[in-house]
Amino acid sequence: QLSVTESGKASQAIIFPWALASFNEQTVAIPLVKNKIGANQQELVSNSVQHLEYAFADGFSKLVNPKRKKIAILKGNNQLNDANIASFIKKLKDYYYIAPFTLDSVATNAQKTGDDLNTFDLIISAKPTEAFTEEEKLILDQFTMNGGKSLWLIDAVAIEKDSLYNDAGKNYAVARDLNLTDFFFKYGVRINPSIIADLYSAPIMLATGNDNDTRLMRLKWPYAPLASGNPNHPITNNLNLVKFDFANQIDTLKNNIEKTI
Domain final residue pick, 14, 47, 66: 66
Question: pTM score, two decimals?
Answer: 0.77
Which structural domain range is residue 223 located in? 197-243
Q: How far, in Å, CA of 54 to CA of 32, rounded?
A: 10
CB atoms within 10 A of CB 82: 11
Q: How far, in Å, CA of 197 to CA of 248, rounded?
A: 10
Query: Considering the domain boundaries, does residue 49 fall inside one?
Result: yes
Task: Look at residue 36 in the predicted model and tell me its pLDDT.
Answer: 66
Q: How far, in Å, CA of 76 to CA of 66, rounded?
A: 30
Q: How far, in Å, CA of 205 to CA of 194, rounded?
A: 24
Query: Considering the domain boundaries, does residue 27 fall inside one?
Result: yes
CA distances from 25 to 21, 43, 59, 60, 63 (A): 10, 36, 14, 13, 10
Query: Considering the domain boundaries, does residue 175 fall inside one?
Result: no
Task: Look at residue 37 in the predicted model and tell me its pLDDT.
Answer: 62
Q: How far, in Å, CA of 84 to CA of 76, rounded?
A: 16
Task: Look at residue 145 in the predicted model and tell me its pLDDT.
Answer: 93
Task: Look at residue 88 in the predicted model and tell me its pLDDT.
Answer: 92
Q: How far, in Å, CA of 202 to CA of 219, rounded?
A: 9
Q: Which residues are CB-contacts of 60 (< 8 A; sequence separation ≥ 6)?
A: 21, 23
Domain final residue pick, 31, 66, 101: 66
Domain final residue pick, 66, 91, 122: 66
Query: Considering the domain boundaries, does residue 239 fall inside one?
Result: yes
DSSP secondary structure letters along 28-43: EEEE-----TT--HHH
- Per 3-state DSSP, what percentage of the chain is helix, strand, and coil (rounded to 5)? 25, 30, 45
Query: Considering the domain boundaries, does residue 250 fall inside one?
Result: no
CB 222 within 8 A of CB 201: yes
Q: How many residues does the chain have?
A: 261
Task: Look at residue 183 in the predicted model and tell me its pLDDT.
Answer: 95
> Per the structure, how many domains does the chain have?
2
Query: Considering the domain boundaries, does residue 4 fall inside one?
Result: yes
Query: Considering the domain boundaries, does residue 140 fall inside one?
Result: no
pLDDT along the chain (261 residues), means of 10: 70 79 87 72 75 85 86 96 92 92 90 95 97 96 95 94 78 93 93 94 82 81 89 77 92 87 74
Task: Look at residue 4 in the predicted model and tell me its pLDDT.
Answer: 66
Query: Considering the domain boundaries, does residue 45 fall inside one?
Result: yes
